[in-house]
Structure formats: C-alpha cells, structure tokens
Amino acid sequence: LKYISKTSSIQYEIKVKKTGYESIKSNIAFSGTHDKIFSIKLQPKTRFKSFYRSLLFPGWGQKYSDRKITATLFSSAMVGALFSLTRNELHLSDVERDFNSSVVQFQSGKYSYDIQQVKLNELGDLEQDLIKAQDQRNFSFYIVAGIWAINCLESILFFPDHAKNIDIFQNLSTNITQD
C-alpha cells in the first residue's frame, strides 16, 4: 500500500496469474472518492512463443508453457552437451597442434633415414588420433544439434492445452502492505 501525498490516492500493485495465460502486473491508483471497476483479460500462451523461446535456449519454451521439469531436463541436457562439445573441441585443438608440429619436424629433413621411418610411424599414429578427435567433436556437435531440434519440436508438439481449465481464478491472492 503506497500513499501518494499530492493526490492523496492509494497505489496498489496487482498481479494476475493463471496457468496457460500470460501474467499481468500493473499499478492502479485509488483516490477513495470514486468506485473503480476494471476488468482483466489475460492472453493465452501460444505454441509459437514457446517455440521461439525454445529456439533461443533449450528449455525456455517448456518453462514458458509451465512445464518446469521438462524445461530443467532440456536445459541440463544442453548444458552437459555444450560442455562435452567444448571439451572435445579443446582436445581436437591439442591433437591438431601436435600433428602439425610433427609434420613440420618430419618435413625439415634433418633426420636420418631410420629416424624418418620412426617419425613417419608416429605421424600415422597422430593422424589416427586426429581422426578420432574429429569424430568425437563431430559426435558432440550432433548431440547438441539433436537436443536443440528435439527441444524445439517438443515445445510445439506437446504444448499443453489449457483451454480445458474452466476455473475463473486459479490463483487469486491479495497482498496489501503499507510502506
């Protein structure tokens, strides 16, 4: 409850929430001299907004559509997959650096024939390590892309139908505080 001294009106903060609808938060001033009647029309949440949020960050669309467990699962899966992708990308960079360094040493020509044969075998092993590191990085990327795609599809296909709720007020509460 806020008192405004110039107009001697009382300021109320009103929050309206209903599952499946956009919430509203507004300030309303009452002067006490007139009755004030107002109506509130909530806009239903939409599949498109859920999809758009899921497209920006996995789990956000599910949270928007009031499915917090699913949102947490998608967000956690994406964080884990991104961590794995980052780790595999860093490993690939290390392997590429080692391979390129070995190629430069081999091509320098300062080794005898016997040592060059050993270096050539080492290059073959490093090339196999490089291919394996690339495959691991690519697999991690495909996992990230898959989680993202499934998340977006899930946000559209399994968007809840809140029209079945016939409650007029699901969560109605009034909190009046004096400042």
Question: Any residues with CB less than 8 A from the CB of 143 and at least 6 apart, and which?
Answer: 81, 84, 85
Crossing angle between the packed helical segments 113-157 and 68-107, to the nearest 10 degrees: 160
103 contacts 120 by C-beta, under 8 angstroms? no
Q: Which residue has the tokens 């079945």?
A: 164
pTM of the model: 0.74
Please list the residues that pair with 4 across neighbouring strands. 9
Residue 4 three-state SS = strand
Over the stretch 109-161, which tens digit does the pLDDT of each residue have? 788 888 888 888 999 999 999 999 999 999 999 999 999 999 999 999 999 98
DSSP annotation of 21: B
